[in-house]
Structure 1
Amino acid sequence: MIISQENIQKVLYELFVKYNFTKEKAQLLASVFTESTLDGVSSHGINRVPLFIEHIEKGVIKIDAEAEKVASFGSIERWDGNFGPGIINATKCTNRAIALAKQHGMGLVALRNTNHWMRGGTYGKQAAEANCMSILFTNTKPNMPPWGGKDSRIGNNPFVVSIPREKGNVILDMAISQFSFGKINDYRLKGEKLPFHGGWDDNDELSNDPDKILSKERGLPIGYWKGSALSMVLDMLATILSAGNSTYRISSKDIETGISQVFICIYPEVFNDSELQEKLMDEIIDYTHNVEPINSEDKIYYPGERSSQTRTKNLKDGIFVNESIWEKIMLLSKK
C-alpha cells in the first residue's frame, strides 16, 4: 500500500492517544515511527507499532514512566528509564547528552531499565541537527551465537555514529548482526530471501531464508569473530556505565525489556574551525564517491545518504507500507 506521511502520522497519533499517552508523548511517538518509515526503515518504523502496542498491553512498557537522573559525575550522568517507552527515554537522554556536550565539550548519559529505542539513527540525527557528533549504542536480548557457539548468547547491539555536515549529515546506524532482526522480518513480510547470509538455520548452516533464521533467532555477526567480540564489549560498556542489565540478565525475561544504552555527544564548535571540519568531511566523501563501482548500475554512498534520497522520494510519491501491518494498526485503532 502507498500511504501519505500525513495519514500515517495522524493514525498513529490517534492510536497512541487512545492508549493513554499524553498528547505531547503521542506526537513524539507518532513522529518517530513515521519518520523512520519515511526514510525507508519500515523494519524499525511502522512495522514495529503492533509489537509496541502489545508490549504496552502486557505491561512491559510503562506509559507514564519518566526517565530520571540517578547519578552525576561532571559531564557523565547515569539515568534510570523506569521501563518507560524507549523512544521517549532515548529522546530525553540524547537531549541531555547534547546539553552536557555544549557545556563541557563532551557529554555522556548512560541509561538503564529502558525499552527498545526503535531506530537508533533517530537519535544520531537528533544530535547532528543540534550540531553535535554522537556515538550511541544499546544492548539487546541474546540473538546471535558468540563465534563458534551454537546457541545465542550475545546481542546484535545496534551502534550509531553521527556527524553534522552542511551538505547532509553523516549518520551510521547499524546492528552488529549482518542484518537487524527487524530487517530480516521485513524480507519475510515481502516473501523475499536475504541478499546475503544472515544467520543459521536449524541444521547449523548459514542461511538467507528469513523464516529459518527467525525460528531460533541466531543471527550472523558482522565480520564473523570480530563482530562477536564487538558485541561483547558494547554490552560490557553499556552495562557497566549504566549499572544496568547485561544481555545475560535480559535473557532471563520472556520479553526484551530493561535494556542498557549509552549516549555520547561531542560539540565540535569548541575547536572553532568549522570551515576546516566541513572541508575535511567533503574531502573524505568526495574521495570515496570518486571510485569506479564494480557494477556499473551501483553508486557509492556515505552513511545516511541513501536514507536522505529515500525520504525525498517518499515525500513525493507516498510511503510503501505492508498491507498486513496497516490492517493490524487499523484494527488496534478500532479496538
Structure 2
Amino acid sequence: MDEYAKQYEDCAWIPFEDLEKFMEEALVHAGVPKDDAKIIKEVLIASDKRGIDSHGIGRLKPIYIDRIDIGIMNPVTEIEVLKDQAATAVLDAHNGMGHVAGHKAMEMAIEKAKKYGLGMVAVRNSNHYGIAGYYATMATDEGMIGITGTNARPSIAPTHGVENMLGTNPLTFGIPTDEEFPFVLDCATSVSQRGKIEVYGRAGKELPEGWVIDHEGKTRTDTQQVLKDLTTGMAALTPLGGIGETTGGYKGFGYATVVEILSAALQDGSWMKALNGFDDEHKPIPYPLGHFFIAINPEFFMGLETFKRIAGTICRELRASKKAPGEDYIFTAGEKEHLAYQFRKEHGCPVPPSLQKVMITLRDRFKMDYQWDFEK
C-alpha cells in the first residue's frame, strides 16, 4: 500500500471520526436537522472511506451547503409518499436532501423485499444523493441485491452528438458474496464524471484525452475551463465507450438513457434539460432529480447462502484467470474500495490543500471549535 499512499503525498490524513463530526456539525449549522445530518455525513464518509474522493467531504460545501445558501436546495427534507403498494412505492422529496430521500427509499425497498422478495421505490423532486454505492450496500448488508440509479444535470453528449443532454446517470449494483466484501459496481455511464474532473482540478492536473469533447467533437483536456464549460454547455462528457461507435460509445449512451427514463418516467419527474439548474436568465434554480431503488431478496429464489457462494466463486475464478503480460492481479468490482478502506481505517482520509482551505472557511464561518494539524 506504499504506492497507494504516494499519490496522496501532499495531503493531510484526518481520522474518519473527525471528518464525520465536522461534516455533521457543518450541516446542522447550515440548517439541516441533526438526524438528517447524521444520514448525510454517513453517505459522504462512506465515499471517503472507500477511496472515492470525488463524492466525499469534497462535495460538502459546493454541492450541498452552497446550494442551501442560495436557496435552491431545502435543508429540511419533507418526504411525501405519493403511492405505496405491495412491492412498490413513489416518493416526492420536495427539493430536500437527496441522501435523506435515498436512505428512506432504499429502506422501504428492503422492507418490501423481505416480505415479497422484491421491492422498488422511485423518487422525484430530489437532489444529488452522494455515492450510489451507499444505497446498494444498504441492501447487501441485509443479504440482498441492491440496485439504484439517478439522473443528473445534463453532462453527456449522445453518440454522434456534441450537446450535453444526459446526466452521468450511474447504474449501480450491490451483490452479496461469501467474501469479506460485496461485489459493488458503482460507476457513471460516462467515461468519467464531474466529481473526478474536480479532483483533477484540485490537483492542478490536465484531463486524459477522450473524457470531454467540445462543440466540434474534439477532445478537451484543460481541466479548469472544462469545469466552467460543462456548466454553460460549451463542453460535454463522453459516454462509456468513448467518442463515436468504434469503441462502443453507443452502449454507454444507451445505458445512460435507461437510467434517465427510470429516474423520470416511473415517478412522473423531470429529465434532461429540466435538470440544468439554471433558468433562461442563467440564474440558479433547483435540480429536481429522480432516483430509483431496487432490493432483491435471494431467499425467495434458491436461498442466500447458495447465492453468496456462487457469487463469491465467480469473483474468485475471475481473479484467478490468466493475466495480461505485465499484470499481476485482476480486481473485481468493490475490491479496490475494500482495500482502500483497509488502509484508510488505519490512516484516515487524505485531504488535499485546496480542500483544507474549504474546511477552514466552513469552520470560521460557523465558528466551529476545530484546530487541524495541517494548520500548524
- Which TM-score band (shorter chain)? over 0.9
Q: What corresponds to 1:83 in structure 2? A: 95
Contact 1:141 1:256 survives alignment (8 Å): no
Partner Cα distance (2:328, 2:164) in 1: 35
The answer (yes or no) to whether the contact 2:163–2:215 under 8 Å persists in 1 is no
| Cα distance per residue 1:240-296 (max 9 Å; x no partner) | 111111113223634561111111111111225333212311221122101233253
After TM superposition, list the pairs within 5 Å mapping 1:1-335 onto structure 2: 1-51=12-62, 52-167=64-179, 168-195=181-208, 197-201=210-214, 204-217=217-230, 218-223=236-241, 224-251=249-276, 253=278, 254-255=284-285, 257-294=287-324, 296-335=326-365
Give distance in 2, aligned partners of 1:32 and 1:230. 25
Between 59-68 and 129-138, report the one with greater CA deviation.
Answer: 59-68
Structure 2-normalised TM-score? 0.84
Q: Name the stretch that deviates more: 138-147 or 69-78.
A: 69-78
2:344 alignment partner, SS class: helix
Equivalent position SS for 2:229: coil
CA distance in 2, matches of 1:176, 1:290: 28
Query: Could you list the per-position Cα deviations for residues 95-122 of structure 1 after superposition, in whole angstroms to 9, with x for gaps in the alignment?
Result: 0111111111101101000000111111
* Length, aligned pairs only: 335
What 5-or-longer segments of structure 1 have no aligned partner?
none
Q: Aligned in 2, Cα 1:252/1:106: closer, same or farther, shift over 3 Å?
A: same
Give SS of 2:294's match.
strand
Cα 1:301/1:102, change in 2 over 3 Å: same
For the aligned residue pairs, the C-alpha RMSD in angstroms reads 1.8
Note the C-alpha offset of 1:298.
4.8
Residue 12 of structure 1, CA deviation: 1.2
User: Residues 22 and 295 of structure 1: is their aligned pair in 2 closer, same or farther, counting only changes over 3 Å?
Assistant: farther
C-alpha contact (below 8 Å) 1:177/1:221 kept by paired residues: yes
Report the AA paired with residue 233 of structure 1: V
Deviations 1:77-97 (A, max 9, x none): 111011111111111111011
- Please list every run of 5 or more consecutive structure 2 residues that lacks an aligned counterpart in the other structure: 1-11, 231-235, 242-248, 279-283, 366-376
Q: 2:206 and 2:329 mapped to 1: Cα distance? A: 23
**8 Å CA contact 2:77, 2:100 repeated in 1:** no
Q: CA deviation at 1:203?
A: 5.0
Q: Distance in 1 between matches of 2:198 and 2:159?
A: 23
Normalised to the residue count of structure 1, the TM-score between the two structures is 0.94
1:154/1:47 Cα in 2 relative to 1: closer, same or farther (>3 Å)? same
Whole-angstrom CA distance in 2 between matches of 1:265 and 1:239: 19
Mapped partners of 1:275, 1:237: distance in 2: 31
Percent of pairs with identical residues: 27
**Counterpart amino acid of residue 126 in structure 2:** T
CA contact (8 A) 1:202 1:212 kept: no
Q: Are residues 90 and 24 of structure 1, via their aligned partners in 2, closer, same or farther at CA, if it must alter by over 3 Å? A: same
Q: CA deviation at 1:227?
A: 1.2
In the alignment, the residues of structure 2 paired with residue 19 and residue 72 of structure 1 have an alpha-carbon distance, to the nearest angstrom, of 32
Q: Provide the rounded CA distance (Å) in 1 between the counterparts of 2:98 and 2:354.
A: 24
CA distance in 1, matches of 2:319, 2:285: 42
Q: Distance in 2 between matches of 1:296 and 1:193?
A: 27
